[in-house]
Amino acid sequence: MLQRIYAIFRARNLEFLRDRAALSWNLILPVLLMFGLAFIFGGGGRNEYTVGVLQEGSELILDQHPFLKTRYVKFVAINDREAGFRKVSRHQLDLLLQLEGDRQYWVNPDSPKGYFAELALLQSDTAGSSNIRKSQISGEAIRYVDWVLPGILGMNMMFSCLFGVGYVVVRYRKNGFLKRLRATPLRPIEFIVAQVASRMVLIMTITIVVYAGTHVLLDTRMEGNYLTLLLIAAVGAVSMISLGVVVAARVTSEELAGGLLNLINWPMMLLSGVWFSLEGAGAVVQQAANIFPLTHVLKSARAVMLDGATLFDVAPSLLAMTAMSVIFLALGARFFRWSQY
């Protein structure tokens, strides 16, 4: 069994390495994106003021205070006080406001946007600014390039995992390669495991090389443990490769496979937080995003890189991705077929 899996694993690796164009593209694209975004957003990636409002629910009540109706300010509900403090310290929130109970606000004295957000708050407080107590939270800003690095790496991983397995297996089926393999003792689960292992080794190698290069050249933030980050990437890669296996299990047309993979890729890229945070989105959108493995990859990777999260902190995301992998692999093996007919 292991010999059969290794034979398919080795053949797939050699096939990919001989495709110089695909190998170069997987290495160059994320690097170009990172340097482009670092140049464009070198001074910060947000063009509007962002104010957090401490409250129980997710829906903001604008009548609580005139400030909540201020134009050009994005208000987001914050349910976790400590998380709100952390965002203010890192300039991710320009100001944190509490209107329920003891009215007060927190601002970073080193934040230029926080200064103007505070002025807007005090000017809009028709009851008198003395009714709102001020507190200060200091801290260093997180650059947009620090925040977006996991998104770029995750996006590159997503495309490589899904198309590297889903599209390739369909091509094998269409040109008759799978039909010939059917005459061998190889079982569907062995073929799938070999494909997953091959793609995972290639993706992890490329991701590590790209991350190391951008981390050194752009001096990106890393607060947590590198082994925890590596584990997140590995589990996330397996879950997305397994999803590609489900698409490729029975599809016989490369055009249909491409359409189905794009149908998965684009919602996942838009809703998983690759380019922007979903904090201001509705609760339904945020819950829907959790069905995608990429959401768990980015959420846990950013927690490790930006907040210094431990393995215990990201365990729920790792368990969710592991469960997805088991389900996807089981479905892929159950419905896999060797030939087009």
Closest CA to 340 of 243, 232, 236, 257: 257
If you average pLDDT over every residue of the chain, what do you get? 79
What is the C-alpha separation between 65 and 68, in angstroms, rounded? 6
* 262: in domain: yes
Tell whether 340 is covered by a domain.
Answer: no
In tens, the pLDDT along 263-308 reads 888 888 878 878 777 765 666 777 888 889 999 999 999 999 988 8
Q: Which pLDDT score is estimated for 165?
A: 78
Give CA angle at 230 (243, 88), nearest 5°: 100
pLDDT at 45: 46
Question: What is the per-residue pLDDT for 75?
Answer: 86
Supply 325's token pair: 């992998």
> pLDDT band for position 41 (50/70/90)?
very low
Query: What is the Cα–Cα distance from 303 to 147, expressed in whole angstroms?
Result: 10
What are the φ/ψ torsions at residue 98 (nearest 5 degrees)? -120, 120
In a domain, 325, yes or no: yes
Q: Are residues 201 and 327 in the same domain?
A: yes
Question: Of 109, 136, 163, which residue constitutes the final position of a domain?
Answer: 136
Q: Provide long-range contacts, Cβ within 8 A and 24+ apart, for 57-61.
A: 58/282, 58/283
Chain segment 196-255, per-residue pLDDT in tens: 888 888 888 888 988 888 888 888 888 889 999 999 999 999 998 888 888 887 777 777
Average the pLDDT over 6-31 and give the result.
60
Whether 67 maps to a domain, the answer reads yes
Residue 328 falls within a domain, yes or no? yes
* Span 49-93, pLDDT tens digits: 888 888 877 677 777 788 888 888 888 888 888 888 888 887 778
Pairing mode, strands 104-107 and 73-78: unpaired
3-state secondary structure of 81: helix
Please tell me whether residues 128 and 148 are part of one structural domain.
no
User: Is residue 135 pLDDT above 90, yes or no?
Assistant: no
- 262 and 168 within one domain: yes
Tell which wins on pLDDT, 178 or 156.
Answer: 156
Number of structural domains (the chain) is 2
Domain that holds residue 28: 2-40+143-335
Last residue of a domain, one of 136, 153, 179: 136
Q: Are residues 164 and 284 in the same domain?
A: yes
Q: What is the domain-level CATH number for residue 61?
A: 3.40.190
Residues 213 and 83 in one domain: no
Residues 111 and 231 in one domain: no
210 in any annotated domain:
yes
Residues 105-134 pLDDT 10s? 898 887 888 888 888 888 887 655 457 888
